[in-house]
Chain A
Amino acid sequence: MLILSNNVATTTFDEMYDKSKWNINLLRELNVYEPSEDTFLLLDALESDLENIIASKPRMVLEIGCGSGVVITAIASVVKDCHYIAVDINPNACNVMKNTAEMNKTHVDIVNADLLKSFRLNSAIDMIIFNPPYVETEDEETLVAGISQSWAGGAKGRKILDELLPVLNSALSLTGTFYLVAISYNDIEDLEKCMHDYGFNCSVLKIRQILGELLFVLKFSKERVIGR
């Protein structure tokens, strides 16, 4: 059955904090982004929204920049009967993702790709999750392959994210949602405005103060056409 009791769900999400759920040695050996404050804030946000996620009966969920894979694996172990896809530009992250999915006995399709550039945009995806490289850096730094791509976000930390925003609407289904981690200097107000122009409403799921900056988890939903 699709509906799991909240009990089961809570346990599973919390378990993702536990290092036995992912292989920290492999992760360090392959130099992949280690689950951090932002990862856990995203997990908390998804957990707080879990009832809505389950009620929307997603058939296809995709995480961009899956890194270690703990986020999509947490959902995949709780929300069943759904097809999961994980994308990362870093081939090592794809390998760690694979290991994390297997350790937790979940099925996740993994693709080594740049954002949604090799995907058909046919409104098939019900939910997209992204904890992007959001740190403000020189633009050139975003082009260096490897671990620095986990954080290097170019001007305002928005360079990679801004490449994705225009295609989200056509990637997502009518009831599709987009979950995003962002930091205060990404200019949240402007982000909301941009997404509004692309046809999305925004709500704030979580805010946490980390090292003097505010970290957000935002949820964007397609604006309903009146009469639906």
Chain B
Amino acid sequence: MLTSRCLKGVVTGYPLGIVAKEIKIQESEFNKDFITRLIPKLDWNVFWSTAKQIGYEGSLTQQIIADYENNENFLKDVHHALVEVDIFEGELICPETNRKFPITDGIPNMLIKDNEL
């Protein structure tokens, strides 16, 4: 499961901090073309800092390298952090309020109670 993936890319209160209590690695086939096409959809900075916070940044750099299309090792590290690393238990932390959103069984609970609106 890949819950952290979409969060890196798309979830707000932006960017969310992340604490991983249990990480599962799920091997999945590397598809160069797919990863190359997915990178433009990521907010690179957030993706990188999330990967770094959980210790899976590998060879990834804060600034995306210019010719990543041709750098297979780089793409493989993106694949690993993006597709294979799954935060099974942990929490997401709102940068403004420090509100914690628990991740249980790989599923983040982003629901906000009425009194928090």
Query: Which partner residue on chain A sits nearest B13 by CB separation?
Result: A118
Among listed A46-54, A106-114, A194-202, A205-213, interface-contacting one:
A106-114
Given A59-B37, A120-B12, A112-B107 contact (CB < 8 Å): yes
Interface residue B43 (Cβ < 8 Å from any Cβ of A) = yes
* A 81-98 contacts with B by CB, 8 A: 81-83, 85, 89, 91, 94-95, 98
Please state if A109 and B38 are interface contacts (CB–CB under 8 Å).
no
Interface residue B31 (Cβ < 8 Å from any Cβ of A) = yes
Q: CA of A54 to CA of B6 in the docked complex: distance in angstroms?
A: 21
Per-residue A-contact encoding for B33-45, CB less than 8 Å = 1, 0 else:
1100110010100
**Chain A proximity of B111: nearest CB distance (Å):** 6
CB-CB under 8 A from A113, the residues of chain B are: 108, 110-111
Please state if B106 and A112 are interface contacts (CB–CB under 8 Å).
no
CB-CB under 8 A from A114, the residues of chain B are: 110-112
Main secondary structure of the interface of B (DSSP, over half): mixed
Please state if A59 and B41 are interface contacts (CB–CB under 8 Å).
yes
Q: How large is the interface on B (under 10, 10 to 19, 20 to 34, 35 or more residues)?
A: 20 to 34
Please state if A118 and B14 are interface contacts (CB–CB under 8 Å).
no
**Chain B proximity of A64: nearest CB distance (Å):** 13
Please state if A109 and B3 are interface contacts (CB–CB under 8 Å).
yes
Per-residue B-contact encoding for A4-34, CB less than 8 Å = 1, 0 else:
0000000000000000000000000000000
Please state if B14 and A111 are interface contacts (CB–CB under 8 Å).
no
CB-CB under 8 A from B107, the residues of chain A are: 91, 94-95, 98, 110-112
Please state if B28 and A107 are interface contacts (CB–CB under 8 Å).
yes
Query: Which partner residue on chain A sits nearest B3 by CB separation?
Result: A109
Please state if B1 and A81 are interface contacts (CB–CB under 8 Å).
no
**Chain B proximity of A219: nearest CB distance (Å):** 22
Interface residue A60 (Cβ < 8 Å from any Cβ of B) = yes
Query: Which partner residue on chain B sits nearest A122 by CB separation?
Result: B10
Please state if A95 and B6 are interface contacts (CB–CB under 8 Å).
no
Q: CA of A117 to CA of B109 in the docked complex: distance in angstroms?
A: 12
Please state if B5 and A91 are interface contacts (CB–CB under 8 Å).
no
Q: CA of A185 to CA of B39 in the docked complex: distance in angstroms?
A: 42
CB-CB under 8 A from A122, the residues of chain B are: 10, 43
Q: CA of A60 to CA of B40 in the docked complex: distance in angstroms?
A: 12
Of the listed residues B5, B11, B41, B112, the one surrounded by the most CB atoms of chain A closer than 10 A to its CB is: B41
Query: Which partner residue on chain A sits nearest B82 by CB separation?
Result: A83
| A-B residue pairs in contact (CB < 8 Å), sample of 18 | A81-B33, A83-B6, A85-B6, A98-B106, A107-B28, A107-B83, A109-B6, A110-B3, A111-B3, A111-B6, A111-B110, A113-B110, A114-B112, A119-B10, A119-B12, A120-B12, A122-B43, A124-B10
